[in-house]
Structure 1
């Protein structure tokens, strides 16, 4: 499939991915909203453990990005017979990785969380959540492989349908399992974890039915289960490992940030979780455009059109920023009115106390919407190892800034959150230098 550099092409690919790549955001948002209405302790706890699970999810998603880049390259070369082999190699690896992550969550987090959490309530509730949430990792990791397949071949429409189903099932089961409605047990935060796991199982099953009836699946050889190709898995692993490390460093830094904020008290952690929840909603367009530009760049290189790479990244960044600001500014300026349907109640003091951080959030999303598109565009060229170097540099600067602001100043949460702006500005500067240097022209995938 040969793609074009038009804004219409960018939107046609990126719009469905906005929802598909935001699947974990949808789940995290649903969990947070329902637990907000249960208790402030549960809301604070899901803020901490929710970020941890996002790190777990990002590891699987990162490995799928390596497969996505390779599939997009094969699609650009019109070597569709190789798509199925690449997909199944990705699935084999994701399933093996899911087993490892499951055992880590079941048996390792008790000791790991003890290094970060001072509150006994947050510690206990975080483990309760993971006890039921960890079972979903098998379907989550296989699901991102399927999404990578359809994103890589630029056929993203059904991703919308599947994500909507995921969200509806998760919301319904959260209502039943957290509060004990419809004859279901009232499980609290553990119910949120179970609801999210069941929702992922349902979404995965729906996508399998879609593949079975997809006429194009035969062209990709999806109904022929190949033998394990260790060499192809190694190629994907080599390409994806820096992307996974980038996600681990990036979201891991965010996890450490929540751990540092937790030391300030449960109220500060609850405020930070509210801002994180809004951040997840408003960042959905950026996730979609960033994943879309990944496919576009790799496809164009497969067509031997390297001269189109930088223009398509710039076009995507512009439309990503505009879309993000359209939904961001109303929320930042009128948080009480727009968040009331989700968080409505007599006590809206949490939103009031978070207002200064919301203003900072507008700057964060500006830097994030442009920086993330450029960073993922660079990854689409195959420069994933250099991306890891960049992300590591940015994470060191980010964590040093947070540590100083939280532990050695009285500047408060707004200045702590401003670390996100610093992070993306530094990253954007390095990526721009690299893309203009044309060092990526000789890379092969």
Structure 2
């Protein structure tokens, strides 16, 4: 769960500290934070293609192919990171101009990316390492590394945002720099772990292979629909924040608060989703297709139950449970967000089940079909949001209800596909 939500942990830490800096900074990190999550999701999506292939090779007991698959993923992720870095450094000024009306939000968003963009190299190669150990079902150290990532980010956020411990007070740019340094440290720790991992030799991780373009193309073909799915999904969320920003900085701040709570409460589902992806692919590699649907259903039930256990107390008592994070004299933002928190229960119900089925379907190799249904769902989602914000006075709760509509449309198509057995003939 923690490994899959590493970027969520970083985004949460940045948001909490900037909440205490100013409402403008908090609103800005809501906008630019979602943008960076889209960037991170692109790298994560490509790693999922490699993860599915690694899990399949492990299920087939072809351990020597694991290393080749891993390095093909690393080579591609490194090249992709360079492209994303150049875009964030030189293209976002013009890109943000298409969405942002507030000059304050615009300038603070660019300040954040000026330091945050350097972390994309370590983020992209890091998710390749996470994909390796998740695909091999050896996830214990991912927990340790993610805790280190979060701890370093929290400490540096405290120092670099406010200027404590003799560090410069950089504001929102300090949050970006803190997150980048935390990713560098987490990546270095992972390298040390791999060096001392005795099983790594069986996977040929210490033998740097030549660039295998055929294998990279195979991963690219498998992963591209997953990346497009992430881009469509989180990209739609980014557009949602852009639409809400037009309502004013106060509404954007409320939406960012709800997003922050959503990120916390969605962590269990991210973990279960990554796990079911690996399990489905591994069982198919063992020629046990009859186990796929029961695995997905059981995982969905676990995901929903775990999510509700942590979500209901937060939604029902937000002032009491969020005060340790957001405590201050002015708690009006939490009061203003209370109606949206009630909607969040329905969102999390749909998300915790729908995401498991979606990732289970991806584990079968049906990534292109996943792209089609997610694109259709996103079109419905954005059409609904645009109509509610621009043509009604229903407010933020009804705008956020679009998330429920999105997952209902998704789940209807996924259920039909999995029961149709079309995925039985797919090869990875």
Match of 2:11 among 18, 28, 34: 28
What is the aligned partner in structure 2 of residue 200 from structure 1? Answer: 183
What is the aligned partner in structure 2 of residue 227 from structure 1? Answer: 210
Q: Counterparts of 1:360 and 1:219 in 2: how far apart (Å)? A: 49
Match of 2:382 among 373, 389, 399: 399
Q: Counterparts of 2:311 and 2:89 in 1: how far apart (Å)? A: 37
Q: Counterparts of 1:325 and 1:425 in 2: how far apart (Å)? A: 18
What is the aligned partner in structure 2 of residue 8 from structure 1? Answer: none
What is the aligned partner in structure 2 of residue 77 from structure 1? Answer: 60
Q: Counterparts of 2:93 and 2:3 in 1: how far apart (Å)? A: 31
Q: Counterparts of 1:78 and 1:148 in 2: how far apart (Å)? A: 17
What is the aligned partner in structure 1 of residue 264 from structure 2? Answer: 281
Shift of 1:396: 0.2
Q: Counterparts of 2:37 and 2:364 in 1: how far apart (Å)? A: 26
Shift of 1:223: 0.2
Matches within 5 A, 1:46-445: 46-445=29-428
Q: Counterparts of 1:318 and 1:128 in 2: how far apart (Å)? A: 42
Q: Counterparts of 2:274 and 2:413 in 1: how far apart (Å)? A: 20
* Residues 205-264 of structure 1, C-alpha deviations (whole Å, 9 max, x = no match): 000000000000001000000000000000000000000000000000000000000000
Q: Counterparts of 2:79 and 2:374 in 1: how far apart (Å)? A: 26
Shift of 1:408: 0.2
* Residues 14-52 of structure 1, C-alpha deviations (whole Å, 9 max, x = no match): xxxx00011000000000000000000000000000000
Q: Secondary structure at the match of 2:142?
A: helix
Task: Give the TM-score, by structure 1 length.
Answer: 0.96
What is the aligned partner in structure 2 of residue 12 from structure 1? Answer: none
Q: Counterparts of 1:364 and 1:219 in 2: how far apart (Å)? A: 43
Q: Counterparts of 1:266 and 1:99 in 2: how far apart (Å)? A: 33
Task: Give the TM-score, by structure 2 length.
Answer: 1.00
RMSD value, Cα:
0.2
Q: Secondary structure at the match of 1:20?
A: coil
* Residues 73-131 of structure 1, C-alpha deviations (whole Å, 9 max, x = no match): 00000100000000000000000000000000000000000000000000000000000
Shift of 1:187: 0.1
Query: Number of residue pairs matched?
Result: 428
Shift of 1:298: 0.1
**Structure 2 stretches of 5 or more lacking a match?**
none
Q: Counterparts of 1:238 and 1:363 in 2: how far apart (Å)? A: 35
Q: Counterparts of 1:22 and 1:98 in 2: how far apart (Å)? A: 19
**Structure 1 stretches of 5 or more lacking a match?**
1-17
Q: Secondary structure at the match of 1:283?
A: helix
Q: Counterparts of 1:148 and 1:72 in 2: how far apart (Å)? A: 9
